[in-house]
Structure 1
Amino acid sequence: MRRIVSTLLFLILIGGGIYFAFIYYATFSEGVRSGELIKFSHKGVIVKTWEGEISQGISGAQIFSFSVEDKNQEVVERMIDYQGKYVKVTYKERFGTFFWLGDTKYYITKVELEDSPHLKRKTATESKN
């Protein structure tokens, strides 16, 4: 009986480890999105996570919600600096998430400032015409 219980506990631990590794390391998709950074906050009661939103258009249906892991401190600092500006973010989508990693399945790995398509500057050739 004791051997059965210990084998069962061992299998549960191995299964839990495989599940955690799959959720944490397996990437469902990777990509790039652009838009105006409208929200970035450090939220949570017990476990604080970095959460944000990018507006990709005029309607509220075009909001991209994302998370940033604490280990990406450079991305966190840039997000704080770029608040309200047009940005391009590189992300990875996971199959799932854990409460201590973030609220979404989308995790930002890189952020860059980008020129807004709504406020395009005229180039020298365009202004001559």
Structure 2
Amino acid sequence: MKSKKPIYITIGILILILGGFIYYRYYFVFGEGVKAGELNYVVKKGYMFKTYEGKLIQSGIRSRQTGNIQSNEFEFSVSDEAIAQKMMLNSGKMFELHYKEYVNALPWRGYSPYVVDSIISIK
């Protein structure tokens, strides 16, 4: 009988590759940053996983077409319920938000790959 060792090694390598792919696709923090603007809304929504989703209107009137005005919108998810509640109570104010950018979104983390994890300031 032949040894089953090569089969176990191959399966082990495939599991490691699959685990690395899933980590990169859904858990790897691709970037971090700060966005500032007027908080438009924060809502709790979802069918199975209730997550907090929001939109920040950034200042600026730059447009690609001459003569048009365009607002820059930043759509995000909120990871912490306490942060989301604080944002809901101060809707319409100017916020500076720290966020993490993931490659893809997860249903229980929110609809957006941008996840706000802290509030830097409220004005």
TM-score, normalised via structure 1 length: 0.69
1:63 correspondence with 2:65? no
In 2, Cα distance between equivalents of 1:22 and 1:102? 17
**C-alpha deviation, 1:23, in angstroms:** 3.2
Report the equivalent of 1:95. 103
Aligned partner of residue 75 in structure 2, secondary structure: strand
Percent sequence identity over matched residues? 28
Give deviations 1:75-129, integer Å, cap 9, x for gaps.
Answer: 22221222111111001111112222111111111114433xxxxxxxxxxxxxx
Structure 2 counterpart SS, 1:37: strand
User: What secondary structure does 1:84 align onto?
Assistant: coil
Q: Which has the higher helix share?
A: 1
Amino acid at match of 1:108: V
CA distance in 2 between partners of 1:11 and 1:37 (Å): 46
Contact 2:75–2:112 (Cα < 8 Å) also in 1: yes
Other structure's SS at 2:111 match: coil
Take 1:12 and 1:50, find their aligned partners in 2: how far apart are those partners?
35
Greater share of strand residues, 1 or 2?
Answer: 2
Partner in structure 2 of residue 30 of structure 1? 32
1:106 paired to 2:108 = no
